[in-house]
Structure 1
């Protein structure tokens, strides 16, 4: 199939082989490794794919660099903890032969451990769908450290086949992700001079919990739904506090 599958990764030796195996149908598989200290490079080379290693300070920069490396007219962008489902692979063959859009949203099946969690996702935790399939030149990532903004060019469509996304192994992984993402978001906020207001942060805590647990029906997922809602609510609070800490530290050093 004349498509490039792009995987941008950092220390993903545990997930990389399965991700690449699910994309074996592609004419080209490109793995861009950002400052890896584990065996990710060895794993990727063992699969016989194109590997590029380097260091990019911003997530958007490294994703744009990966897109530039791809040589096929169509690109499917995956994270290392994602897998192409059989349904999506079959649909890609049909869609690419008569595509009438420049990018396509692909549904996501998000997992905690081995359990497909259908409800409660949002904010930094995970999304229900994303524009993972696109014609080269129609998707540009913004210059942000966490969840960069996207510029999409042309007409978009939706696919039926899904990507399996193994977001978290367990509750501890949720905590680690919350810590990493709030660190990066706080750094972005300070560098961009974004103001924080205590009343707004407090309001976001409650609205995010309500949105995840009630509106997105996280209550249907038992304890997993509670965790998703709680960590979604804590994200802006931790980002706010870490930004204050970072600003104070920069003031002392400057």
Structure 2
């Protein structure tokens, strides 16, 4: 799978509540370390060859995530699944419609597409009100697809019983909200240089990998560089947890940039 050089920017690395969590005064939520402040999980992927920019998931924090990195352009959105912390910010793509004078391509599996059409019904109306998001919705299945010069391989994982789509772009793989991956899909991850994987907390969880489960999976897949995301305040303080990880594994944090 040939691809251009990529720049990855972590827009958010928190779970559905974000960190700090409303009403919580635990050590993580009251930490002064900027790496303990996490918006909802999303990444921006930029091709350093042709400038193509895509976002995986539009969180409730999407508007602020775009403003704080001063991102002026967006070519597409890839969605992982229909939970609110991953889709709620879609309305704010209107700004890109306005400045780019074009519809925005959006890629989602059937379950997520149905949720988008339900939650953002006004964007899909036949006689849409002026100023609504202008979206071209594309269904994602198991087949690879391309956005400009980026070749994208969907990877289907399980969030308890919900199918979630991870994405591999070149040597970069992004998987969030998973607690199980079938063997055939694991094969699609192997050979990645960088894997981003959800690691919610220390204790086991019904639908997310715990930290130990995420570490074990990354070791099984033999990925040289691993970043954990979709982190809750229950995981612990960033600097303390980071010290306990294998040397090639890291906690991602908001604003982290990687080039691959």
Which of 1 and 2 has greater Rg? 1
Shorter-chain TM-score tier: under 0.3
- TM-score of the superposition, structure 1-length normalised? 0.28
- TM-score of the superposition, structure 2-length normalised? 0.27
Structure richer in helix, relative to its length: 1
